[in-house]
Structure 1
């Protein structure tokens, strides 16, 4: 018996010894600078000679600007402030030949001549100039200043004010007269002081002369309480468009900061809650030839009164078919300025109309209606006030845009005369960030055609045809094309390799040359895992993608941890360096200790098309949760995981799923750590939540079945709640309310860790370390025998 006990002790000792790691929570969660320095914010110099990027090899408190010359790619040079000040801004407008660029720097209007490499200051008006553009004849430049539109003539240097837009009302302006007392003082001055009287008379005379000899002043358009914004002049100079913003008067929440520098509790301004009143954008056309203004008319769009399908779940409520609230984006003028298109989105985000705008009347003709009973979104499709991929080809008849019509976001052309629509890309993959070459004969675009977890850069003829793949490094290739389009600066990463900068000529045959190597020796000393990309079958037959981390058989402990990424609409089961790099390193530590880790791109995740994106509509905690459960079943069946040893954790949306898992799937998950988690969706923001769950007053069913606080009585396992107290995204109030609910339910198998100086995304290494030590302790104490 004694020998048996010794043998068991020996086995146990060796098992414990094997479950060690060169990593620790303290090491992983220290300042990320320990990993090295990695390039970001890549850009090119104006003449395609230098690549600029943010970098920090000197371990300064923050990154600085560096450059690499393509003629000397082995030398990384820190950019001085004089050189940095001379770099052309990315924003601005090129003429058609690409020989000149107009832009704003420090509120001043400049023109750059590429042939002479010369910058010239055009105009300084004592305030910020914005949105400069070459007009069709390229001899004039339009821009916005002080909420009005102007034209600057490059030949004559003359400046014309096209509009006279003012906030408030005409009555308010007229009422802004001197008080009786101040008027008496002014009149007395004019009576007593001859020189003052003479100067006043001379001023009036000059003003009268300018009025008689100048072009007629545009009539004054008063915007009332609405704020004018986004002014632009049509390329032919006949129209000015602008938008009017009606600000919402919604009640915002405040987040108390108990650790403010002042020593007082200070309320931080945050946001309103879902279902609150929203701001509204309307588009206005100023017809300069007729000197008149009219609003764009959206009330005749097809389906503008359509009710959503979910109303059938509320048969006792009377639903009125009313003209829905909309937001407008644009207009986008054709190159000659004769035509314009406008994007209109319904307030419930179930419709997106791309419409031809009649510039003479403000009426709209729908060219393409995208209807989704869930919500309109996807790569290149934009959101409420964003147009996404949209524009004109040079024929002034064809527009381009992206649509999820086939279930995946693809690039389309549409002739505004014939209505004929052509798909330029097609297949079970998605298109990202397409743009036209400088000569407008070629498309450049990024797609996931090779694999949902890879991104590659392509070019394609403007009217469609074979796509030429220009990148060849496995993983993610973020390409910044040089201005002359001869070269590509590539920020590349792989699953276990952080971002580095590469360079290659713009062709498929060239090999990419690595320019940076920023990983520290300490970081490289550990053999970081390349997680296996797997798919498992969900209960509805869908194949769910995931990252799998497997321990060696010598240390495998039969326990598993499911990681749930945040953001909902985000992809993490891919082949590039994760934005969740701390969690990636933590998963390496867990795997060293014998855990099997599964990181799932559950329903609602990005990268897999419309049906995957909208799989959580009206039920968050439905398929996105069952995908986690099916992932556990896969681990049990295929990888020998003990059903009694499964934990789950995640932050933000991942924290929400963790709560739903412990409350609703207690037989599956023994323990969980819910970080910065939403507990009641009726308390989250409008822009995100209303898309997925509609509004609480209209669709309470969706909110009640999607909010963890309604299911807290189901808690049986071990729960850790962790939250930053100055979180202005998911408010600390969320977990306070849940804590009270758990107290009232007399649950005693939970604990809460609070972080007084942390917002939604933690900043301090000490906070990260404390949080993840608690997570590791939870799993070690509850999942390991």
Structure 2
């Protein structure tokens, strides 16, 4: 059992920052910026802290700076040497980025011109461990082992979904396109382009009898169609045979929209999740806002009520980038995919109304597991790109599945099913790969959140057990250890193991 170095360092060093922030003298503030003081109620912070002043309604409603501007959202620097956190400016809602170099000494404000060296919206390490790629404000950076930081993209587009490739390069997603980039030379190439549209054709089929006769009888029309067909075929062959050009786009069902997708580290496959378009609200989902700048009531758009939510179904499509083929993966290989899990409730409701209910099997709405609080997502490839696992949930929240893809049979293969008559948690369901054919995952199968390992030979091993909760598992760089938090000694005390 080990205490977190971050927790210890924060308790020893960051308290200094919060205490210093309560001083009334601006010169003692740890930030390098001074914002104008707004016209708000204020009270004597020192008097309150010493228990001299009475805690009045005026004091309670005063600017919260009197309670201290405490460190917020602490995190490690990219090299793990420094501690960073955000701190509220005095009299302002702006948060400044602060740094404690080496985890010791007084905090200092990080200049705005250097924030890209410390803030990572998304991180991905190379397989060899010789570089760390990350995104900052939608652009891609890479940090090498010697501390050098190199910017790979700089534009108004948003790059994300970083993936370390098996050959040492990096891939990222931009819109519905995937790119691979050499982190040292900066040369990038498009790997896949996803379009939800009909595939282009050289000529459209005649729409009616008149068009059909026109194409049959008019030689000029026939010649024009022949020329277009030849040009189209030429461009198709050129794109297929010339490796310097971008690959052909994949055209998926135009009635669908993008949900998620992950490129395999070997560059062979792209697993895509898509769904029918569904709005997060209806026209009648509004909330009146009475406090506005112009003194008039404004109707604010809000999400729909839970009772009005509609089933959401995700469809998985496996794209073979080498053969340029696409295969839909169905859910009928999952246990309970068509089970009437609400049969007892429906029968009870029907009985209360003097009716009867006959249970029948129907396909359930199944989607990618919502990754609330995760960092890795619901689609996970192993390092070699030889296996991929997906975490799925039933829309009725009664089942969670982990499945891999059988590339030969082009179907899902169930690895684990978690069923709960009440509710499947969004949290306590993280998962990933230990090695090329072994998964680790969290499950509440025994009533508590615990860690499990499963090899693809159908063997599942429970790694932790007992009346406590496991949280935030992290696999070590060499995949030999799993670190996690757990409240084993006491329900309210979490230690690191």
Q: Could you say whether these structures have the same fold, taking a TM-score greater than 0.5 normalized by the shorter chain as the test?
A: yes
Deviation at 1:356, TM superposition (A): 2.0
Could you tell me how far apart the structure 2 residues matched to 1:393 and 1:281 are?
Answer: 27
Tell me the equivalent position of 1:86. 117
CA gap of 1:225–1:438, structure 2 versus 1, over 3 A, is same
Tell me the equivalent position of 2:314. 281
Tell me the equivalent position of 1:423. 462
CA gap of 1:103–1:344, structure 2 versus 1, over 3 A, is same
Tell me the equivalent position of 2:150. 120
Does residue 147 (structure 1) correspond to residue 176 (structure 2)? The answer is yes
Could you tell me how far apart the structure 1 residues matched to 2:485 and 2:191 are?
Answer: 40
Deviation at 1:145, TM superposition (A): 2.0
Looking at secondary structure, tell me which structure has more helix per residue: 1
Deviation at 1:222, TM superposition (A): 3.2
CA gap of 1:223–1:153, structure 2 versus 1, over 3 A, is farther
CA gap of 1:96–1:170, structure 2 versus 1, over 3 A, is closer
Residue from 292, 306, 309 that aligns with 1:260: 292
Residue from 402, 410, 424 that aligns with 2:442: 402
1:29-178 correspondence runs (5 A): 29-56=61-88, 58-70=90-102, 73-115=104-146, 117-124=147-154, 127-138=157-168, 140-154=169-183, 158-170=187-199
CA gap of 1:172–1:33, structure 2 versus 1, over 3 A, is farther
CA gap of 1:172–1:352, structure 2 versus 1, over 3 A, is farther
Deviation at 1:229, TM superposition (A): 4.0
Does residue 233 (structure 1) correspond to residue 281 (structure 2)? The answer is no
Tell me the equivalent position of 1:293. 326
Scaled by the length of structure 2, the TM-score of the pair is: 0.72
Tell me the equivalent position of 1:312. 347
Which structure 1 residue ranges, 5 or more long, are not aligned? 1-20, 176-203, 382-388, 459-785
Structure 1 counterpart SS, 2:107 = strand
Deviation at 1:294, TM superposition (A): 1.5
Superposed CA RMSD in Å reads 3.0
Greater relative contact order structure (CA < 8 Å, 6+ sep):
1
Could you tell me how far apart the structure 1 residues matched to 2:78 and 2:158 are?
Answer: 23
Tell me the equivalent position of 1:392. 433
1:215-230 correspondence runs (5 A): 217-230=247-260
Deviations 1:531-575 (A, max 9, x none): xxxxxxxxxxxxxxxxxxxxxxxxxxxxxxxxxxxxxxxxxxxxx
Q: Whose Rg is larger?
A: 1
Tell me the equivalent position of 2:302. 270
Could you tell me how far apart the structure 2 residues matched to 1:272 and 1:378 are?
Answer: 20
Scaled by the length of structure 1, the TM-score of the pair is: 0.47
CA gap of 1:285–1:444, structure 2 versus 1, over 3 A, is same
Tell me the equivalent position of 1:606. none
1:143-542 correspondence runs (5 A): 143-154=172-183, 158-170=187-199, 211=239, 213-214=242-243, 217-249=247-279, 251=282, 253-273=285-305, 274-307=307-340, 308=342, 309-313=344-348, 314-315=350-351, 316-329=356-369, 330-377=378-425, 379-381=427-429, 389-394=430-435, 396-417=436-457, 419-458=458-497
Deviation at 1:258, TM superposition (A): 2.9
Which structure 2 residue ranges, 5 or more long, are not aligned? 1-52, 205-231, 370-377
Structure 2 counterpart SS, 1:414 = strand
Deviation at 1:125, TM superposition (A): 6.4
Could you tell me how far apart the structure 1 residues matched to 2:186 and 2:89 are?
Answer: 47
CA gap of 1:411–1:259, structure 2 versus 1, over 3 A, is same
